[in-house]
Amino acid sequence: MHADLECVTQLTIEHSQKLRNYETVLFIDASILLPPGEWTIESLAPHGMCSAQASHHCTPADVIELAALLFDASPDAYLLSIGASKFDERDSLGEPLQAALPNIVADVKSFDTRLSRKN
């Protein structure tokens, strides 16, 4: 399976256009809701709602929504949320996250195997 990796500081409206080119999209984002070091992978689908209030501030769900509305693109989309506690610009990874990182990486690595098994 071929994958492209893109690191962005912000998701923008324009990203919705890019999703046209992909079958599967995995968004990876830090989360304040999960305890540090825990992670979840949930699937995202267009849900008729977009909360985008700014051209450069979209949630993964917004991007999915816009991709479906505008570009007829509905890739299988997933959101990997990783619980973290420190978000300041000068922070490095906290200990729980540091410890969980290998497992998260392993989980992401097995992600495409799981996907193909699903099909």
Partner 1 sequence: MTEIQSVQIITLTIDGKPVGASGGETILDVAKQNQVFIPTLCHLEGLIPYGACRLCLVEIKGNNKLVPACITKVAEGMEVITNNERLQRFRRWILELLFTERNHVCSVCVANGFCELQSLAEVLGMDHVRLPYLHPKFVVDATHDRFVSDNNRCILCGRCVRVCSDIEGAHTLDIMGRGIKARIVSDLDDDWGNSPTCTRCSKCVQVCPTGAIKEKGRRSVGEKFKHRDVIAHLAEMREAAREED
Partner 2 sequence: MTQTITIDPITRIEGHAKITLHLNDSGTVERALFHTTQFRGFEKFCEGRPYYEMPSLMARSCGICPVAHLVAGAKACDQILAVKIPDTAGDLRRIMNFAQIIQSHALCMFYLSAPDFIFGFDANPATRNIAGLAAKNPQLARDGIRLRQFGQQTIELLGGKRIHPAWIVAGGVSEPLKPDHRDRIQVQLPEVKDIAMRALATFKPILRKYESEMETFGNFPSLFMGLVDEQGNIQHYDGKLRVVDSAGNVITQGWDPARYQELIAEAVEPWTFMKFPYYKPMGYPNGMYRVGPLARLNVIARCGTPLADAELDEFRSKYGYPASSSYHNHLARLIEVLYSIERLEQKLSDDSILDTHVRAGAAPNARDGIGVAEAPRGTIIHHYHVDQDGVVEWANMIIATGHNNLAMNRSILQVARSYVNGDKLTEGMLNRVEAVIRAYDPCLSCSTHAVGQMPLHIELYDGNSELRDTLVRDSA
Smallest gap from Cβ 7 to partner 1, in A, equals 13
On whether the CB atoms of residues 20 and 67 are closer than 8 A, the answer is yes
- Looking at residues 7 to 46 of the shown chain, list those that interact with partner 1 (rule: CB under 8 A): none
> Rounded to an integer, what distance in angstroms lies between the CA atom of residue 98 and that of residue 92?
9
- Does residue number 79 form part of the binding site for partner 2 (CB under 8 A)? no
Binds 90: which of partner 1, partner 2, none (CB < 5-8 Å by kind): partner 1
Q: Return the range that interacts with partner 1 (CB under 8 A); candidates 12-20, 22-30, 50-58, 84-92.
A: 84-92
Q: What is the contact surface with partner 1 in residues (CB under 8 A)?
A: 89-92
